[in-house]
Amino acid sequence: MRVVSLVPSLTEAVAVTAPGVLAGATNWCTHPAGLDVTRIGGTKNPDVAAIVALRPDLVIANEEENRPPDLAALRAAGLDVLVTEIRGLDQAFTELDRVLRACAVRTRPRWLDEAEAAWAAVAPDAYRKAVVPIWRRPWMVLGRDTFAGDLLARLGVTNVYADHAERYPRIPLDELRASGADLVVLPDEPYRFTADDGPEAFGALPAALVDGRHLTWYGPSLGQAPEALRAALRRPVRGPS
């Protein structure tokens, strides 16, 4: 079996579960460490010719991460493309199982069972309302129907913009500050928010700096995500008043 992955989360899931199956992955596929496969460009601009040259049995993609024209080009070249849709935790578990079976994995991996068990044991903390920026210049936040929003909700954090018409709306900073949130959650991807870049925009509002991999990746990291995210949410920092 030869597989090319266009999604970092799925790359890690396949590489950990079935070493040697991956023939290619994107430049953004950073896990597991030391992954030695052909790099085929980015998630938004994959090198279609390079992928075709690898002669994979399967290309795995995601409807949010990858662009339809690129997936159409791969199919037009005769490749089998499996496209996942993951907008919540339960869907993530189902899709991960589907991807691994498509990659000829016959036994459900232990990490997937452990991840499900870890999330099944989660009891939400005290109710909090948060804004969750994913970009600045312009400011963009989590809106409706997102995987990351579902994870936060299970931990007791309600996304202020969960009912927005858009999934990743652009919201002016003044509106974010006046949203009624009592917490701002700042992941380090896709925009790399840090203690020095992000909290200061929200003044005295507590800011939880979270690992983007634990918040947005669906793969082996899901097993550690509940505890890692909860720890970050419990120790927010504050910008200058």
**55-78: per-residue pLDDT in tens?**
999 999 999 999 999 999 999 999
Q: Do 95 and 155 lie in a common domain?
A: no
**114-160: per-residue pLDDT in tens?**
999 999 999 988 779 999 999 999 999 999 999 999 999 999 999 99
User: How does 11-26 read in b/e, with b if 16+ C-beta sit within 10 Å?
Assistant: bbbbbbbbeebbbbbb
Domain that holds residue 174: 123-238
- The helix/strand/coil state of 115 is helix
Q: Does 115 fall in a domain? A: no
Q: Do 141 and 58 lie in a common domain?
A: no
Q: Do 146 and 187 lie in a common domain?
A: yes
In the structure encoding, which two tokens stand for residue 84, read together? 């996942």
- The mean of the pLDDT values for the chain is 95
**Cα–Cα distance for residue pair 200/116, rounded to 1 Å:** 36
Handedness of CA 105, 111, 112, 113 (dihedral sign): positive
Q: Do 101 and 168 lie in a common domain?
A: no
Q: Does 183 fall in a domain? A: yes
Which residue's entry shows tokens 């589907």?
98
Which residue's entry shows tokens 């920026």?
133
Burial of 110 (0-12, 13-18, 19+ CB in 10 A): exposed
**Cα–Cα distance for residue pair 42/65, rounded to 1 Å:** 10
Q: Do 87 and 140 lie in a common domain?
A: no
Q: Do 129 and 80 lie in a common domain?
A: no
Residue 240: its pLDDT value, please? Answer: 60
Task: Assess contact for 82 and 100: CB atoms under 8 A.
Answer: no
Q: Does 209 fall in a domain? A: yes
Q: Do 138 and 227 lie in a common domain?
A: yes
Q: Do 7 and 74 lie in a common domain?
A: yes
Q: Do 188 and 91 lie in a common domain?
A: no
**Cα–Cα distance for residue pair 11/19, rounded to 1 Å:** 11
Total of domains in the chain: 2
Q: Do 104 and 133 lie in a common domain?
A: no
Q: Does 117 fall in a domain? A: no
CA distances from 48 to 6, 10, 80, 232 (A): 11, 19, 13, 39
Burial of 189 (0-12, 13-18, 19+ CB in 10 A): middle
CA 175 to chain centre: 25
Q: Do 94 and 49 lie in a common domain?
A: yes
**41-50: per-residue pLDDT in tens?**
999 999 999 9
Q: Does 114 fall in a domain? A: no
Last residue of a domain, one of 52, 79, 108: 108
Binned at pLDDT 50, 70 and 90, residue 32 comes out as: very high
**198-214: per-residue pLDDT in tens?**
999 999 899 999 999 99
Q: Do 68 and 129 lie in a common domain?
A: no
CATH number of the domain encompassing residue 104:
3.40.50.1980
